[in-house]
Amino acid sequence: MSSTSTPAARADRPRRREVVHRPPGRLSLRWVPLRTHLGLAGHFGHNYVKKYYLDTFLGIFWIPLRPLADVLLRSVLFGAFLQVSSGGRPYLLFLVVGSIGWFFFERVTYWGYRCLQYNYRYFRAIPVPWLPAVTGTAIPGAIQAGLYFLIALGAATYYSLVEGRFYLSFGPGTLYALLGLLLILLYGWMLGLFLAPLVRVARDVRLFVPYPLMFLYVLTPVVYTVDSMPPKYQDVAIYNPLTAPIELIRHGLLDMGLPARASIMSCVGVLAVTFPVALLMFARAERASHRRL
């Protein structure tokens, strides 16, 4: 009798079915250690940033050129031509400080809903966790916000030399600006969690999303103050969930007024309801995808 047929030999044989990966629960994400998560998020974030300058003649210089061109065009249009109210601050500074929050939100949201589709090669064959691709969107968003802050710093220095007033304020009140940025980051992640699984399977969603965001930009007091709007439209801006974070940033950096209580309640309330729902939907889509691998 062959030695391979003995009970000891049969016991040494590998079982026909070995579990090498156990999917998470129906409504749970695939978690990895924090260090691994941050490493993956950093890798994905670097991929997003490279997209801005790959295959261009100017290369990395495109990263600061875009916000500079944006500030120049918008300040001329809204500040010089339309003479929009800026709450007693130079319009250039008013616009740039508001843009810190908006373009942080816009970049986090943009890469949030594109993250699974853009990084598809990582997810198509092995069960790589999806969440780091979403959290990595904070990197291009932070770079964008940092560039607008540097522009604001340069503009404030100019006004300090010309008018003798620096306008930007740094102190304990600056924490309000950080709180505004945190709320904006959570809103960007929320939209990314909700939209990324849809964009992954339907490119039409990706093509449609920029239009509601453009409309949201109009409803958000980035280029104007809420008080400068016609009275019948002011409630639209006040209950816009992004109004409170933008005004918190302006309060922290320009010492302007705090957002209305209704704006704060709208911001926190909408986020408290939508973020858990978006996270659960994202987890279900991730689990369904991993089960098909």
Question: Residue 12 pLDDT > 60, yes or no?
Answer: no
**14 located within any domain:** no
Residue type, 289: S
pLDDT band for position 75 (cuts 50, 70, 90): confident
Higher pLDDT, 125 or 222: 222
Whether the CB-CB separation of 292 and 204 falls below 8 Å is answered with no
Position 52 confidence tier, pLDDT thresholds 50, 70, 90: confident
pLDDT score of 10 more than 70: no
Local confidence band at 77 (pLDDT 50, 70, 90 cut-offs) = confident
pLDDT confidence bin for 273, thresholds 50/70/90: very high
* Residue 9 binned pLDDT confidence (cut-offs 50, 70, 90): low
| Residue 126 domain boundaries | 46-279
- The answer to the question of residue 156 being in a domain is yes
Where residue 120 falls among pLDDT bands split at 50, 70, 90? confident
The pLDDT-based confidence of 1 (bands split at 50, 70, 90) is very low
Residue 20: what pLDDT?
A: 47
- Rounded to an integer, the average pLDDT of 180-208 is 95
Locate 168 and state its tokens.
Answer: 């930007």
Q: For the whole model, what pTM was predicted?
A: 0.87
* DSSP per-residue letters across 260-293: PHHHHHHHHHHHHHHHHHHHHHHHHHHHHHHHT-
The answer to whether residue 31 is domain-embedded is: no
Tens digits of per-residue pLDDT, 231-251?
888 999 999 999 999 999 999
Residue 29 has pLDDT above 90, yes or no: no
Q: How many CB atoms lie within 10 A of CB 237?
A: 23
| Band of pLDDT at residue 124, cut at 50, 70 and 90 | confident
Query: Does residue 30 belong to any structural domain of this protein?
Result: no
Total number of domains in the chain: 1
pLDDT score of 79: 76
Most confident region among 33-37, 192-196, 221-225 by mean pLDDT:
192-196
In a domain, 135, yes or no: yes
Q: How would you label 121-151 residue by residue, b for 16+ Cβ within 10 Å and e otherwise?
A: ebbeeebbbbbbbbbbbbbbbbbbbebbbeb
| Contact between 107 and 274 (Cβ < 8 Å) | no
Q: Is residue 211 part of a domain?
A: yes
pLDDT at position 81 over 80: no
CA-CA distance, 244 to 180, in Å (whole number)? 7
Mean pLDDT (whole number) for 122-143: 91
pLDDT of 85 over the 50 cut: yes
Any domain includes 151: yes
Whether 24 has a pLDDT exceeding 80, the answer reads no
pLDDT of residue 253: 96
Between 87 and 144, the higher pLDDT residue? 144
Encoded tokens for 112:
């949030």
Do the domain assignments include residue 285?
no
